[in-house]
Amino acid sequence: MQNNPVLKEFDLDHISIDHNDDVSQLCDIIKEHPSIETIGLVGCFGDDMAVHNILCSIMTAGASKLKKVEFGSNSISTGGSTFISDFLVTNPPLEYLELTKNRLDDKDAISIAGALKHNTNLHYLDLDGNSITDLGWKALHKAEFDGKSLTSAADSNHACVIINSEFVEINRDLETDEPFRRSALRSKKIYSVLSARNKEGSNVQHLEDGDTPIEFLPDILGAIQRYSEYHRGDNAPSRENDDDVGALSLVFELMRRWDKAFSVFSTLGR
């Protein structure tokens, strides 16, 4: 590695690293190397090593350059440390983080979920095979899509696909198998909230209650226009979901009480 300045990735998967001196040398190389972006260290460390501290050291050494880190099957247990979430909050250039088959738990998942609200660079996060229950997964998926309000939906994470075999991946386009464009996905989620409220006939009521800021009016109209064929429900349904509400239903609801909706927006805009 040291003799190859153009090297962008290296893979040590399943090669045993048993000594702290080797870890220190690896961190020094990552820190000093001019081009390295990807590291694979799956199954390299045993239970007798402070694996979480090793992960912290490696990610710190490559904080300004690493784009992909694979660190699965290493028995990571954070012991309550929030390093991973603290690292992600800084919005480093990291785009892919694989931590499968470790010992992360619900507290770790909830902490990471909070960090994702502030991270726009991470594209893939794989936490499958950890000790995460529905509680932790729901927190992570709420970070991807919080449908409580139009504001929370718009402020959700639109960049990261959270990989989980038990859930449909909200931010992944099922047709291209790639992340959605962020602006498009933001509108999709807004449409989903409008769609759910339409079933109750409550969109205008939410406007009256002050739930929707005036600046959301263009988003509402744009979402209806651009994403009338598809929305994402509470459990991230596929495009074929029969419960989708069509654009005409939303337009009819708003137009039927448009005088009230318009008066609400006019008041908010003063």
Q: Do strands 96-98 and 161-163 pair parallel, antiparallel, or not at all (unpaired)?
A: unpaired
Q: Do strands 124-126 and 96-98 pair parallel, antiparallel, or not at all (unpaired)?
A: parallel
| pLDDT values of the chain reduced to their tens digit, one per residue, 270 residues | 566 778 899 899 999 998 999 999 999 999 999 899 999 999 999 887 899 999 999 999 999 999 999 999 999 999 999 999 999 999 999 999 999 999 999 999 999 999 999 999 999 999 999 999 999 999 999 999 998 888 898 899 999 999 876 666 778 766 665 666 787 788 788 888 888 888 888 877 777 676 666 667 677 777 776 665 444 444 443 444 445 567 777 777 766 655 555 555 455 444
Task: Please list the residues that pair with 68 across neighbouring strands.
Answer: 38, 96
What is the rounded end-to-end Cα distance, in angstroms, of the chain?
Answer: 62
pTM attached to this predicted model: 0.82
Contact 145, 207 (CB under 8 A): no
Torsion of CA 14, 18, 21, 26, to 10 degrees: 10
Nearest CA-CA partner of 19 in 57, 58, 46? 46
- In the chain, DSSP finds a helix count (H) and a strand count (E) of 11, 8
CA atoms of 176 and 126, how far apart (whole Å): 19
CA atoms of 76 and 78, how far apart (whole Å): 6
Contact 61, 90 (CB under 8 A): no
Token couple for 233: 């429900």
Token couple for 179: 């992340």
